[in-house]
Amino acid sequence: MKHPLDTSLTRRGAIGALGALAGGLALAQGNAPRTVRLGYQKSSTLIAVLRLQGTLEQRLAPLGTTLSWHEFTSGLPLLEALNLDNLDVSADVADTVPVFAQAAGAQLTFVAQEAPSPTAQAILVRHDSPIKSVAELKGKRVGFAKAAGVHYLLIAALEKAGLSFADIEPAYLTPADGRAAFERGAIDAWVVWDPFLSAAQRQANARVLSDGTGLASYQRYYLASTRFATARPDVLNVIYTELEKTGRWVKQNPKEAAALLAPFWGLDAGIVEQANGRRSYAVRAATAQNIGEQQKIADTFFTEKLLPRRINALDIGLFKPQA
């Protein structure tokens, strides 16, 4: 049954206030979730920093809440787990991922959004590749993670070059499998995001055919199940506040942040610093005004027959952080 908070964007915009009331009642009745199941990817930078510093556990403890961590290789399985009630909160996923989850009927709430980082994803070829332009990808095998932000970037870049998605041979690969296939020549091009992008550039001398500039804003979203957002707005407010602080810290302390993340990611600190330099890490509330590109993404995927049905991409909960 569709949650009443999801019936319109205007009403969903009030989810923070309504959720606070529902959450307070649930707490009074002792029914609110006491363990927060948080899903993340290895590339979830701000969440990785918070985990390494133990910040969220400390901040959630006064709420009588514990935290469990669950790692995923890509964003789509992460949101599937959220939809199946195997998770409560998701670390950042690319702007494309929620539209696939929405098409599957997931009841989700945007907790926060990172402002655009268009250069943090790109189409790569090997340094000795004869391919010099996106137009030359016609008939070529291109590797990328399905439903990731790079999926939309590839479609947008092909369209600009006068091609369609049907003009290439897609190879759906996780970042680890994509890197291996790229290096051994099993794919002609690889579309990937940071820090994998920076690692391929610095370690494999990969060459950029196109990044997202003018094609794909690449805004990343933090989400929760609408059920959890309604029950525990207090928890989401803590998470939002700490994400905002951490985003500022990473940008103001690039070397310290790189030194912290490098061993966690298994990468050289120089690679991490380059990758972090391309991401905005500007955490903000997701509002009707700044999520407009979601509909364009959804329509593009539907046109390419990658979504099973047309969706209203704005039909999603919007968490309103409290001061």
pLDDT top residue among 303 and 12: 303
The residue assigned the tokens 């804003």 is: 217
- The band of 22, judged by pLDDT with boundaries at 50, 70 and 90, is very low
Give the predicted TM-score (pTM) of the model. 0.86
Distance, in Å, from the CA atom of 322 to the CA atom of 190, rounded to the nearest integer, reads 41
Q: Could you give all domains of the chain from N- to C-terminal order, each with its CATH number?
A: 4-116+219-318 (3.40.190.10), 118-211 (3.40.190.10)
Per-residue pLDDT of 46-100, as tens digits, reads: 999 999 999 999 999 999 999 999 999 888 899 999 999 999 999 999 999 999 9
Mean pLDDT of 220-243: 97
Per-residue pLDDT of 189-224, as tens digits, reads: 999 999 999 999 999 999 999 999 999 999 999 999
Q: State the alpha helices, DSSP H only, in the chain.
A: 9-12, 15-29, 45-53, 55-60, 75-83, 97-103, 149-160, 175-184, 196-204, 226-231, 233-252, 254-265, 269-278, 293-303
**Is 90 exceeded by the pLDDT of residue 9?**
no
Sign of CA dihedral 277, 283, 289, 295: positive
User: 16-30, 271-285, 289-303: lowest mean pLDDT where?
Assistant: 16-30
pLDDT of 79 reads: 93
pLDDT top residue among 152 and 75: 152
**Interacting residues of 167 by C-beta distance below 8 A, sequence separation 6+:** 137, 138, 139, 158
The residue assigned the tokens 């995001």 is: 193
Mean pLDDT of 282-302: 94
Mean predicted lDDT score pLDDT of the chain: 90
